[in-house]
Amino acid sequence: MSLQLATLLPGLVLAALGGALLSGNSLVSSTLKSFPRSANATLVFFGAASGWFLYRVWNLSPADFGEYHVPLFIGFALVAALSFWCVPDFLAVRGLAALVLLSASPILDAGYMNFQPQVYPLKVFVYLCIALAIWIGATPYRLRDFFEWLFHTSGRPRVVGGALLGYGVLLGVIAFTY
C-alpha cells in the first residue's frame, strides 16, 4: 500500500463518520446506539476480522510458526465460529477492534522509516486507534456507554463530528503532499 493511499483511506473514513455525526440525522444516532449488540454488525465486522485473521494465519512464514499453519488455522477457525454461538454479546465491537488492529499494520508499514513531518499526524492517529481498539476490545461495553454519553445532548455529536471531519480533511490534504 502506498503512503498516499494509507493516509487517504483513514482520512476518508474519518470525514465520512464526522459528516454523518454532523448531519444530526436520527438514523445515524440509532444505528450507532444499536451497533454494539447488532447481529448484522456482528456478521459484518467480526466475520471480516475473522476472515482477515485466518488469511494471515494461513500465510504465516516459517519464522512465525508457518509449519503449523494448518492446525493453527483450524483452531482459530473453530474459535471464531464458536464465538458467534457462545459469546455473541458485543461481538460487533470486538470485531471492529480486531479490524482496527489488523488494518493498523499495513497503514504503519506504508510509513515505515519515513520521517517526513507530514507523516506524523497519520502515525499518531493510528497509534491512538490501536490503544483505543485494545481498550474497547477488552471492555466492549465502554463503546455502548460512550454512545449513550455522546447522544445524551444534541451538541456533543456535532462537536465530535466536527473534530472527526476536520482531522479527516487534514489527513486527506496531507495525503496529496507526499
Q: Would residue 72 count as lying in a domain?
A: no
Q: Would residue 45 count as lying in a domain?
A: no
In the prediction, which pLDDT does 62 show?
A: 85
In the prediction, which pLDDT does 103 show?
A: 97
In the prediction, which pLDDT does 176 show?
A: 95
Q: Would residue 10 count as lying in a domain?
A: yes
| Per-residue pLDDT band at 133 (split at 50, 70, 90) | very high
pTM of the model: 0.91
Q: Would residue 26 count as lying in a domain?
A: yes
| Per-residue pLDDT band at 24 (split at 50, 70, 90) | confident
Query: What is the average pLDDT across 158-163?
Result: 97
Q: Would residue 166 count as lying in a domain?
A: yes
Query: What is the average pLDDT across 36-47?
Result: 96
**Euclidean distance between CA atoms 60 and 13, whole angstroms:** 29
> Contact 18/164 with Cβ under 8 angstroms?
yes
Q: Would residue 159 count as lying in a domain?
A: yes
Domain count of the fold of the chain? 1
Q: Would residue 75 count as lying in a domain?
A: no
> Contact 110/2 with Cβ under 8 angstroms?
yes
In the prediction, which pLDDT does 67 show?
A: 85
DSSP class per residue in 74-118:
HHHHHHHHHHHHH--TTHHHHHHHHHHHHHHHHHHHHTTT---GG
Q: Would residue 69 count as lying in a domain?
A: no
pLDDT per residue as tens digits for the range 2-11: 999 999 999 9
Regarding predicted confidence, which is higher, 67 or 45? 45
Note down the domain range covering 122.
3-37+89-175
pLDDT per residue as tens digits for the range 78-87: 999 999 999 9
